[in-house]
Structure 1
Amino acid sequence: MVDAFVRPARSEDADSVARIQLETWRTAYARVVPEAVLAALDADDVAAQWRSAIVEPPTPRHHVLVATEGEVAVGFAAAGPATAEDLVGPGYTSGERPDGEWDATTLAVSTLLVEPRWGRRGHGSRLLAAVADVARENGFTRAVTWALDADQASRNFLESAGWAPDGVGRVLDMNGTEVPELRLATEF
């Protein structure tokens, strides 16, 4: 039996995290994200951004986690304190928070991806459980994440784990193409 687990990302994981992000986006989001946007993503640039996030996170409460199977990185998650932009809409008081200030009680999960060829092996669930553990350890009582409206698989996965749409959406401008997202939330 192959060992599968989740651990904090290390600097040397940045290339694998970039590979997972690019492969997943190019496979799962090819019909949603404009081709020009996907083609413009440079593996070295993406890896450098992830290396920075891993080595120099904005706060000690920001985390990048890596799911592995054997020695292979197969998925990752990134999360940290929510910003005012994450907390627009009913039920949140982010309007009173100055721009750039981190929320003390709400975690924002910015990314949770498992490379498609490694799907359906429990890696996503392990990542989500590890994110919840990190959240509790860091004093967060709730979490939010944004999912592409067209990404029904991710939405179904999150909803099966107790997350729910909270009625707030936004539209991303990706190279002139509007891509709607829906916010999902949960409490710990």
Structure 2
Amino acid sequence: MICIRRARPADAAAIGAVHVATWRSAYAGVLPERYLSDLSPIRHAIGYEQAIVDRRHGHAVFVAVASGPDAPPDRPPQEGGVVVGFVSGGRARRDWLAQGEVETLYLLDDYRDRGVGRRLMRAMAAHLAAVGCRSAMLWVLSDNPTRWFYQRLGGRPAAREVIRFAGQMMEQMAFVWDPIETLLAATAPAPEG
């Protein structure tokens, strides 16, 4: 079983580990190998622990937790399950694009194409709508192979910019859902039957 719930401070270490694992997978051959090998789950965990407890600006973190037969066999079982993905966001840092922003969405490779990313995006979209955001956006590196996921959810490419990241110049693009109901509709659970 995989459930989506609000993150707790105790989830920070697992979130940091998911962050590092997904970056090493998604950005192999895109970002310098040295940069990827130097990523620290502990450093990321510290940042995520702060993000979990700091709810200013409508900020929230949600986790996907696998338990029972869905739990990863290579990770020690934990009470309540194992964090296999997460999403974070809040009010947009650049409100000229949208009112709400999905800041991160990371999911372990073995849990892709199972609807978990869609469920995480729905949790964040519902949260952003609940805190008064009428639109949502996110930035993704143009070389990120998963960027098509956002288009399949109805995200409209709205901006591009070149940033300096990991010692090199890279292009990132913004996807926007305006109104936010377009993202809520795209991530709605499929009817049963």
TM-score greater than 0.5 by the shorter chain: yes
Number of residues of Structure 1 aligned to a counterpart in Structure 2: 166
Whether 1:157 and 2:167 are equivalent positions in the alignment is no
Q: Over aligned residues, Cα RMSD in angstroms?
A: 1.6
Q: Deviations over 1:12-66 (max 9, x none)?
A: 1001101110000001111112223222222211111111111234x05100110
Alignment of 1:1-188 (within 5 A): 3-57=1-55, 59=56, 61-70=58-67, 71-83=81-93, 86-87=94-95, 92=96, 106-153=99-146, 155-166=147-158, 168-187=159-178, 188=180
The 2-side partners of 1:151 and 1:42 are apart by 20
Shift, 1:152, TM fit: 3.4
Letter in 1 for 2:135: R
- Secondary structure of 1:33's counterpart equals coil
- Contact 1:34/1:174, CA 8 A, preserved across alignment: no
TM-score by length of 1: 0.83
| Counterpart residue identity of residue 174, structure 2 | R
Unaligned runs of 5+ in 2: 68-80, 181-193
Contact 1:32 1:179 in 2 (8 A): no
SS in 2 for 1:128: helix
Task: Give yes or no for contact 2:57–2:91 (8 Å, CA) kept in 1.
Answer: no
**Partner of 1:172: helix, strand, or coil?**
strand
Identity of paired residues, percent? 30
Moved over 4 A (4+): none
Contact (CA 8 Å) 1:170, 1:180: kept in 2 or not? Answer: yes
Q: Render the CA deviation track for 1:93-143: whole Å, top value 9, x for unaligned.
A: x8xxxxxxxxxx711111011111221111101001111110111110001
Q: Aligned partner of 2:170: which letter?
A: V
Other structure's SS at 2:37 match: helix
Conserved 8 A contact 1:33-1:179: no
Work out the CA distance in 2 between the residues paired with 1:36 and 1:172.
19
Shift of the 175–126 alpha-carbon distance from structure 1 to 2, 3 Å rule, reads closer
> What 5-or-longer segments of structure 1 have no aligned partner?
95-104
AA partner of residue 181 (structure 1): Q
Q: Which amino acid aligns with 2:48?
A: W
Q: TM-score, normalised by structure 2?
A: 0.81
AA partner of residue 7 (structure 1): R
